[in-house]
């Protein structure tokens, strides 16, 4: 049996491993830093205390309980030796016959260290929990703040990035202000809570249709969100957001959803990468400069006639690339010609609060309540397990009928005793 190592258990890596379960020709090593798969499209609902982290996470070992050829290793890959075909990790080295890079992207601060130090990202479950803690703690701090300027700085939430993540989070915070805070804090006036959404392009949801762009901004403004397009953040020192327009916003809560950059691992030649730290791959997702190395999902850059600048970094691309690569591995085992990747765009969507959403399908787009129900259905279907689908659906129904949830719990981290003990021993 040949060994395939898959680095990353996101949409693409997980789909590839699932499709190769119990394959007679391949032994699969699925390597990730976490022991679970996370459903990123609903990360903002964890951050806004609408869903518990467990609702959008699923243990990897549960997925592969019946797989005799899949090995799960929870570790960090530190270096690749592509010449000798092995990877280095924090728990040891692993050799491979085929290597698939599917480790996705991380937050891109565009070289601004202040933003990295002070702004809150939302790319992982721990980051979403950290942001939820910050949002909820802000409301508690506001109760004990009497200085008007300091209070307004606390109540100014600045979301940077007008893509689906930023738009959906802005809508969720607006509904929290309207429906939840008056009930949770009857002794405090939160009318001055202000949500800013900053977008560098001329429109929110810039990759979507004109109708969806217009309606998304209209929905946001109807919820009280201050939308500033063609606006960039020049700097942020933890207290003041400086914009390219010369305007400054006092804020202690800046949420960064403005861009991504590929996760990198040492050992790859520079000519393997293009902008955004993405691997340059051919039509079969093989890294062009290397042998037996593939890349799928957000980390892969495949230039085609329809997508000369690479495919969009969305889950559907990763899923389709993972599915095709599994078929190509099967063809490879049987000495058959490989099939080139061709992306089928099934559409895109975003929700902006209750009964407000925008949906773009290949031939038409629509907005409003029907789009919202469509958004809910599609996301439910994409969640891995029946149990998680039911948990999410139940939380959504409760929120739909009473405009509330019971998940506003501040989970403060505790001291890691094991880590401290190991550090003292060394």
pLDDT tens digits, residue range 231-263? 999 999 999 999 999 999 999 999 999 989 999
Closest CA to 221 of 184, 167, 183, 181: 167
Domains along the chain with CATH numbers: 2-33+75-107+260-333 (3.50.50.60), 113-258 (3.50.50.100)
Q: What is the per-residue pLDDT for 415?
A: 63
Q: What is the per-residue pLDDT for 406?
A: 67
Q: What is the per-residue pLDDT for 404?
A: 81
Going by pLDDT thresholds of 50, 70 and 90, the confidence category of residue 365 is: very high
> Does residue 87 contact residue 77 with C-beta atoms inside 8 Å?
yes
How many Å apart are CA 56 and CA 389, to the nearest integer?
9
Q: What is the per-residue pLDDT for 289?
A: 84
How many Å apart are CA 240 and CA 11, to the nearest integer?
37
Radius of gyration of the chain (CA): 23
Q: Strand runs (DSSP E) across 229-315, as ranges? A: 233-236, 240-243, 248-250, 253-256, 260-262, 273-274, 278-280, 293-295, 300-301
Torsion of CA 202, 206, 209, 210, to 10 degrees: -10
pLDDT at 418 > cutoff 90:
no
SS3 340: coil
Task: For 78-122, give the DSSP string.
Answer: EEEETTTTEEEETTEEEE-SEEEE---EEE--TT-HHHHHHSB--
Q: In the predicted model, what is the mean pLDDT of residues 200-215?
A: 93
> Does residue 293 contact residue 101 with C-beta atoms inside 8 Å?
yes
pLDDT tens digits, residue range 120-170? 999 999 999 999 999 999 999 999 998 999 999 999 999 999 999 999 999
Measuring CA to CA, how many Å separate 327 from each of 23, 24, 321, 332?
Answer: 11, 14, 10, 9
Which region among 48-52, 333-337, 413-417 has the lowest average model confidence (pLDDT)?
Answer: 413-417
- Which pTM does this prediction carry? 0.92
**How many alpha carbons lie under 13 Å from residue 333 in its C-beta half-sphere?**
18
φ, ψ for residue 18 (rounded to 5)? Answer: -65, -40
Q: In the predicted model, what is the mean pLDDT of residues 66-91?
A: 95
Q: What is the per-residue pLDDT for 176?
A: 93
Q: What is the per-residue pLDDT for 400?
A: 86
Q: In the predicted model, what is the mean pLDDT of residues 349-364?
A: 92
Longest CA pairwise span in the chain (Å):
73
Q: What is the mean pLDDT of the chain?
A: 93
Going by pLDDT thresholds of 50, 70 and 90, the confidence category of residue 411 is: confident
Percent of the residues in the chain that have a pLDDT greater than 70, as a whole number: 97
Report residue 210 as tokens.
Answer: 């004109």
pLDDT at 414 > cutoff 80:
no
Handedness of CA 205, 122, 75, 410 (dihedral sign): negative
Going by pLDDT thresholds of 50, 70 and 90, the confidence category of residue 348 is: very high
Going by pLDDT thresholds of 50, 70 and 90, the confidence category of residue 93 is: very high
Q: What is the per-residue pLDDT for 422?
A: 56
Enumerate the β-bridge partners of residue 409.
none
């Amino acid at each position: 049996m040949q060994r395939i190592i898959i680095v990353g258990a996101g949409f693409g890596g997980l789909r590839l491993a699932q499709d190769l379960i119990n394959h007679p020709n391949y032994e699969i090593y699925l390597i990730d830093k976490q022991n679970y798969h996370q459903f990123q499209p609903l990360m903002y609902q964890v951050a806004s205390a609408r869903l518990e982290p467990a609702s959008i996470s699923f243990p990897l070992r549960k997925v592969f309980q019946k797989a005799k050829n899949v090995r799960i290793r929870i570790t960090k890959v530190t270096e690749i030796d592509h010449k000798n075909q092995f990877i280095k990790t924090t728990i040891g080295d692993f050799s491979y016959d085929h290597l698939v890079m599917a480790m996705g992207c991380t937050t891109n601060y565009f070289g601004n260290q202040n933003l990295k130090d002070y702004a809150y990202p939302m790319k992982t479950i721990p980051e979403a929990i950290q942001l939820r803690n910050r949002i909820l703690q802000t409301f508690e701090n506001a109760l004990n703040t009497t200085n008007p300027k300091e209070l307004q700085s606390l109540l100014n939430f600045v979301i940077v990035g007008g893509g689906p993540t930023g738009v959906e989070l802005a809508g969720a915070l607006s509904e929290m202000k309207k429906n939840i805070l008056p009930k949770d804090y009857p002794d405090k006036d939160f009318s001055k809570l202000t949500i800013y959404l900053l977008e560098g392009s001329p429109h929110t949801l810039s990759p979507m249709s004109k109708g969806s762009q217009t309606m998304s901004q209209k929905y946001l403004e109807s919820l009280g969100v201050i939308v500033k397009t063609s606006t960039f953040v020049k700097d942020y020192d933890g207290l003041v957001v400086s914009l390219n327009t010369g305007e400054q916003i006092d804020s202690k809560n800046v949420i960064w959803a403005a861009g991504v950059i590929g996760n990198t691992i040492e050992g790859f030649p520079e000519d393997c990468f293009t902008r955004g730290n993405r691997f340059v791959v051919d039509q079969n997702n093989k890294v062009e400069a290397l042998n037996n190395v593939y890349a799928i999902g957000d980390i892969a850059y495949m230039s085609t006639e329809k997508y000369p600048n690479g495919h969009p970094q969305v889950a559907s691309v990763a899923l389709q690339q993972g599915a095709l690569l599994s078929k190509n591995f099967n063809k490879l085992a049987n000495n058959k010609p490989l099939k080139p990747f061709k992306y089928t765009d099934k559409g895109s969507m975003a929700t902006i609060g209750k009964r407000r959403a925008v949906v773009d399908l290949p031939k038409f787009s629509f907005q409003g309540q029907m789009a919202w129900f469509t958004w809910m259905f599609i996301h439910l279907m994409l969640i891995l397990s029946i149990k998680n689908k039911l948990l999410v659906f139940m939380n959504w129904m409760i929120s739909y009928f009473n405009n509330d949830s019971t998940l506003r719990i501040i989970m403060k981290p505790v001291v890691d005793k094991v880590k401290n003990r190991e550090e003292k021993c060394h």
